[in-house]
Amino acid sequence: MDPLKRLIKARKKNLIVLSAGSLQSGICGLCLLHASDSWEIAESVYIPYPAPLQKLLAQWFTVPPTMPSISEYLWLDYKCSRLMVETALALLARLPKFLRQPHALVLNKCMLYKESFPEGNGEAAWNWEIGDEQALLRACKAPVFSGFLRADILSGGGGALPTAAGDVEIARRIGGTVAFVNIGLFAHLTIVDGAAGRLIADTDCGPGTCCINSAAEVAGLEPGFDRDGSLAASGTVLAERLAVLGEHPWFASEAPRSFSLAVAQELSSHPALDNCAPADRVATITALTGRAIFDCFKRLYKSEAPPKAIVISGGGAHNATLLNYLKTYFDPLPVQTTDAYGIGVDQRTALALGLSVAIALKKGISEVPGMVVLP
């Protein structure tokens, strides 16, 4: 049967979702089975970026970025594409035979860079991603949906993934109103009323792991990040310096808003952190990350009824000290990771994207934002 007709006719769609993270991350792959009134994750894998790929990726996450040569860029694109194929094949190998031919793949590429620049009387934005749909198409022989960030930019947005519909589905399963906090390099807050199927807020709220990583690097921590929060736990939060950092103008800006590596660098190199003991520096920056998340929530959540939970995902969810700070800030509201609801901390973005695409497919192929590459 024609792959597109097979996809359209399937009552229970089998989607392979691949989501590439940014620096010090990897590729999350999951098999999402979606019917009209149910969904489940049949299997998942996570493959971290190997060290040589991480090293070259790091050049794009400096301010300003250190532009690699064309040959280095091509190598990076090739290696990332191969890693995406490896992730997909590893995932398929774990599935029972009847699930090894997916109806479609959903690809969130690795974004290297995004910038706004003057255009006419306003501003234009553009982004640069790596990862090749054709490589996945050849390996899996199924339609590939991708290009979501570029589609959002072309529609007048800032380059965001279309995850709102999926987040609503996840919130419905959890029950009630849920505040999702994804802590990658930046921290992002999404508040969803699951019962009403309504998005309440969706915005960056400040640094995620980026400033913590910078502080850990200054402290000489190998491999340049305080993944479990042990260094922060050994230090002392310097309250006066924390207050000075919290006065940065970005934190007073109106939501929705986008955090940036430039602001992260201003915070990481702020004079308030001069002459800090390494552990105290990491502890203070970790507290700033938690405080920024809480302050953003406090400004945007207006209902008198408390949300069911503050649900944490992303690489920052592995930082036990950051989680403890969040629990202190949000007390008495419960702070949990997505693991409490059967969703891995590295899976939420991929799951929300996959669910959003599956929901759009019920209305037709043309309703899926982005592009589709067909066999």
At 84-137, the pLDDT tens digits run: 999 999 999 999 999 999 999 999 999 988 877 777 666 677 888 999 999 999
Tokens of 59: 């050049």
Q: Which domains does the chain have, with CATH numbers?
A: 3-159+348-373 (3.30.420.40), 165-341 (3.30.420.40)
Token couple for 136: 């996945």
Query: Could you tell me which residue, 106 or 217, shows the higher pLDDT?
Result: 106
Hey, what's the torsion of the CAs at 160, 14, 3, 95, to 10 degrees?
120
Which among 165, 105, 194 has a CA at the least distance from the CA of 355? 165
**Across the chain, what does the average pLDDT equal?**
93
Residue type, 166: G
Nearest one of 360, 361, 346, 359 to 87, comparing CA atoms: 346
Bond from prior residue into 375 cis (ω within 30 degrees of 0): no
User: CB-based contacts of 223: which residues, under 8 Å, 6+ apart?
Assistant: none
Dig out the tokens for 7 from the structure. Answer: 């996809």
pLDDT for residue 223: 64
Segment 160-182 mean pLDDT: 95
> Looking at residues 357-375, what average pLDDT do you find?
90
Distance between CA atoms of residues 178 and 247, nearest Å: 28
Q: What is the pLDDT of residues 29-85, one digit of tens each?
A: 999 999 988 999 999 999 999 999 998 998 888 888 887 899 999 999 999 999 999
Q: Would you state the pLDDT for residue 122?
A: 66
